[in-house]
Structure 1
């Protein structure tokens, strides 16, 4: 499938899939979306709400590594064990053109972290910084079998319009089972069918203001 690097509304880059007319991040702003949905509503909320000094995070759709980079950068005061699941890893030649370090305050630190994330081996946990470890897993979301493992899930799969099979009760039950009690799941999606699928498997779900260009998003908690 053809992939193109494009600039989004806030100047940060993402990958565009013309065949699906779909992007890895919001066309209104890749950085803005990631910061709002996953850092502010996910990471910051979980740390504050549950007084966490250590977090185990699962990302559904590791993709470009932007969410992982921001988590390492803005969650540096706590210990984070990060697992990123990706069925189709981004190619090294594509990563060069994303240049996410240039949109963060400390270019050298961000560039070093981003490069290291993409250089470490898949299927093993690697220390990226003193407080952040990363395990990249190349597999489909349907293959996830974790139980009571994670404090927080970034659900960043391609949208239901192009991959409806990733937004079903079956998938959200896997997410529910993989979370610890009071574990949190955040996603950019806000469709009623997605919210109902989450609720059907036991999540307590709330609608929240979305990132620029999107009215709402969802946050779910395992009770």
Structure 2
């Protein structure tokens, strides 16, 4: 087992992973599933499905982590029978030993979590007829891509752990990845994060957060 990470339970019964080096969990201890469902699916994916009803959705995730956001997205794509191309980047992929301890498939009545974690890096893999995954190992600042996205899930560690990922240059970079009308959602609603998003030309909306979090953000390109 990797000694720097460990799987822990959260208040809704779902697991998260605690990073010992950063001193932070990957998801809210108030409930991993309920947080991801609210921040990335309800405020992000469901809005994108409605906003772009006739398009194959292009989604980018910063911080693949436990694979929970991707798993919830597969489930939603199948429910709506909408194709999703999903690109995720992670600097320190979760070891397979820890990923196999996660209980998301059991709680969500899905079966895709092993495939999400065991899929090769830097190669697209069809996970389901409605979901194709490409995982990239590296840092966001070095990302080079011609792809543009309808939706970005911004799930970096908190500013107290990784302040460099919440600076103006990051949001300027992310804004260039969004298609016109594209959206980005994140759990962090700090005032300076909102300012940095606006400085990148994004329109910032505050939305009610999940249990334990008052506000979350959705930023819109245009």
Correspondent of 1:46 among 48, 53, 76: 48
- The CA distance in 2 between the partners of 1:18 and 1:80, in whole Å, is 33
Residue-pair matches, total: 218
Task: State the match for 2:120 in structure 1.
Answer: 121
Task: State the match for 1:189 in structure 2.
Answer: 188
Q: Show CA shifts across 1:139-184 (max 9, x none).
A: 1011123356111000000000110000011111111001111110
Extract unaligned runs of 5+ from structure 1.
none
Mark the CA change 1:209 to 1:66 in structure 2 (over 3 Å): closer, same or farther. same
Aligned-CA RMSD value:
1.2
Task: State the match for 1:37 in structure 2.
Answer: 39
Structure 1 consecutive aligned stretches of length 4 or more whose deviation exceeds 4 Å = none
Q: How far apart are 1:117 and its partner, in Å? A: 1.3
1:84 correspondence with 2:88: yes
- The CA distance in 2 between the partners of 1:140 and 1:15, in whole Å, is 20
**Which shifted more, 116-125 or 46-55?**
46-55
Q: Show CA shifts across 1:185-205 (max 9, x none).
A: 000010001000000010000
Task: State the match for 1:172 in structure 2.
Answer: 171
Q: How far apart are 1:103 and its partner, in Å? A: 1.0
**Which shifted more, 131-140 or 93-102?**
93-102
Q: Show CA shifts across 1:8-54 (max 9, x none).
A: 01000001123433110001000000000000000001111332441
- The CA distance in 2 between the partners of 1:201 and 1:214, in whole Å, is 25
Contact 1:125 1:136 in 2 (8 A): yes
**Which shifted more, 55-64 or 17-26?**
17-26
Mark the CA change 1:2 to 1:179 in structure 2 (over 3 Å): closer, same or farther. same
- The CA distance in 1 between the partners of 2:200 and 2:168, in whole Å, is 7
